[in-house]
């Protein structure tokens, strides 16, 4: 059975040390008492070290929101896997908000290099994939999502793929309040993420990879997503900035136990 993984994507919020620590101090004890799931907070780079230190005595993990694929060098404003490795265990890669901004560092090929660099530094990548509204309406979800998965995992061995986390985030559901239906998300994950992984790497690997749903997850809808057999957690944006995020995680773990 796959261990659920709930990741809080703070995006460009709570990036000042005082505000980040105030929030972390409010949620860390109740959140650390919730067993049965990986709980990951992904703050901005500016407070990664402070948040990591505040969470060090707890079972809560820290993640970054992006990284560069090179180890070091003339890459102004960038951060490498080796730099993150001492601070956190997870890193979000290929978030649609970054892919949408475009550029050479968010192509499937670049994300593939980032995944490899993250794994080489013992970071667990949370690889984001998902279709936009036009693709969904045109029936293109499967081709697009399975293509993104193949692109991100290109050239990896089965042992490298197994520990990866994939976040299925339909772009039309992010920050809109219009989440996918749990059944639709479950179907896309089964057909467009797990089935192609099974085909390339074998059924054992496909069953080991943890797949999150993301996009307008709330304390009210999380249980319905977690009740789905293919959904192993969530990547939560807006709702992760509220103190009742702890309730969201608690409900997620309860619902995953009942499936
Ligand atoms: P949201 O964002 O929960 O605010 O929709 C999710 C994400 O972008 O990871």
Compute CA distances 102 → 96, 97, 99, 131, 143, whole Å: 10, 9, 5, 15, 20
CB 209 within 8 A of CB 166: yes
From the CB of 63, is ligand 1 less than 6 Å away?
no
pLDDT band at 248 (very low <50, low <70, confident <90, very high): very high
Q: Note if 33 is an active site residue.
A: no
For the segment 157-166, what is each residue's pLDDT rounded down to a tens digit?
999 999 999 9
Residue 49, pLDDT score: 98
Residue 153, pLDDT score: 98
Indicate which residue's Cα is closest to atom 2 of ligand 1.
237
For the segment 111-140, what is each residue's pLDDT rounded down to a tens digit?
999 999 999 999 999 999 999 999 999 999
Nearest of 75, 77, 65, 19 to residue 41 by alpha carbon: 65
pLDDT beyond 90 at 204: yes
Please tell me the distance between residue 39's alpha carbon and the centre of ligand 1 in angstroms: 16
Q: Note if 142 is an active site residue.
A: no
> For the residues 6-10, what does the mean pLDDT come to?
98
Residue 200, pLDDT score: 96
Residue 42, pLDDT score: 99
Please tell me the distance between residue 177's alpha carbon and the centre of ligand 1 in angstroms: 9
The dihedral built from the CA positions of residue 63, 164, 122 and 80, taken in this order, carries a sign that is negative
Neighbour-count burial of 191, counting CB atoms closer than 10 A to its CB (0-12 exposed, 13-18 middle, 19+ buried): middle
Give the N- to C-terminal CA distance of the chain in Å, as an integer. Answer: 11
> For the residues 151-177, what does the mean pLDDT come to?
98
Residue 257, pLDDT score: 85
Please tell me the distance between residue 74's alpha carbon and the centre of ligand 1 in angstroms: 32
pLDDT beyond 80 at 147: yes
């Amino acid at each position: 059975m796959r261990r659920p993984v709930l990741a809080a994507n703070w995006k460009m919020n709570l990036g000042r040390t005082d505000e980040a620590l105030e929030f972390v101090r409010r949620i860390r004890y109740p959140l650390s008492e919730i067993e049965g799931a990986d709980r990951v907070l992904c703050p901005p780079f500016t407070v990664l070290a402070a948040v990591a230190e505040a969470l060090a005595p707890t079972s809560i993990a820290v993640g970054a929101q992006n990284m560069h694929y090179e180890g070091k060098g003339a890459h102004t404003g960038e951060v490498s896997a080796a730099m993150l490795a001492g601070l956190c265990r997870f890193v979000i890669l290929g978030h649609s908000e970054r892919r949408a901004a475009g550029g050479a560092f968010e192509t499937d090929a670049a994300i593939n290099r980032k995944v490899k660099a993250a794994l080489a530094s013992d970071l667990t990548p949370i690889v984001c994939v998902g279709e936009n509204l036009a693709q969904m309406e045109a029936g293109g979800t499967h081709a697009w999502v399975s293509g993104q998965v193949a692109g991100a995992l290109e050239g990896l061995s089965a042992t490298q793929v197994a520990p990866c986390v994939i976040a299925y985030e339909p772009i039309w559901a992010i920050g809109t309040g219009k989440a996918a239906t749990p059944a639709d998300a479950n179907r896309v994950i089964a057909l467009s993420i797990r089935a192609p992984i099974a085909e390339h790497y074998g059924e054992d690997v496909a069953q080991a990879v943890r797949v999150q749903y993301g996009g307008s997850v709330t304390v009210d809808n999380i249980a319905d997503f977690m009740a789905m057999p293919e959904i192993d957690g969530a990547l939560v944006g807006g709702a992760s900035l509220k103190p009742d995020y702890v309730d969201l995680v608690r409900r997620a773990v309860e619902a995953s136990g009942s499936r």
